[in-house]
Amino acid sequence: MPLRPERGVIPTALATGMETSDTIERAMQDIVAFAAASGDRYAGLVGFVIDGEEWNVRLGQNAALSKGRSATDCTVELSSNVLADLRSGLKNPQAAFMAGEIQVRGDIQLVLRFWELFEVLFSSATS
């Protein structure tokens, strides 16, 4: 059973499709905070490319966020609009992936574990 954060712990960083770098960064920080609280269940280095901006999220107990290009275990590319829809619960990661709105390269096992993280994190932000 996946860990669920306490209600109110994860702030809603993305409210509209008109995200700024600051709100995207807050969303990435939400992911890092949840991954850190989840221990090593989610471990690895995931790169994000969101509207051309590159972010790196180190998952696990030593979770961290950095910006810029880095060698990652997998890379997830999506738009800020799709991230907002995921965050608000309008879309789920698998559906967005199947629709071509999320592109993934790299370690498929990490990506599968990461989908679970997305689902738990984003469903808790709206429930």
Question: Does 7 fall in a domain?
Answer: no
CATH of the domain at 88: 3.30.1050.10
- Domain count for the chain, please give it: 1
Phi-psi region of 8 (alpha: psi -120 to 50; beta: other; left: phi over 0): left
Number of Cβ within 10 Å of residue 11's Cβ equals 11
Question: Does 74 fall in a domain?
Answer: yes
Which run of H or of E encompasses 76?
Answer: strand 74-78
Question: Does 49 fall in a domain?
Answer: yes
Q: Which residues pair with 44 in a beta bridge?
A: 59
State the pLDDT confidence band at 3, using cuts at 50, 70 and 90.
very low
Question: Does 113 fall in a domain?
Answer: yes
Question: Does 84 fall in a domain?
Answer: yes
Q: Whole domain around residue 98: which residue ranges?
A: 21-126
The pTM of the full predicted model, rounded to 2 decimals, is 0.73
**87 vs 51, higher pLDDT:** 51
Question: Does 60 fall in a domain?
Answer: yes
Question: Does 15 fall in a domain?
Answer: no
Q: What is the pLDDT of residues 102-118, one digit of tens each?
A: 998 998 787 777 677 66
Q: What is the pLDDT of residues 38-82, one digit of tens each?
A: 777 777 888 999 999 999 988 887 888 899 888 999 898 999 888
Question: Does 43 fall in a domain?
Answer: yes
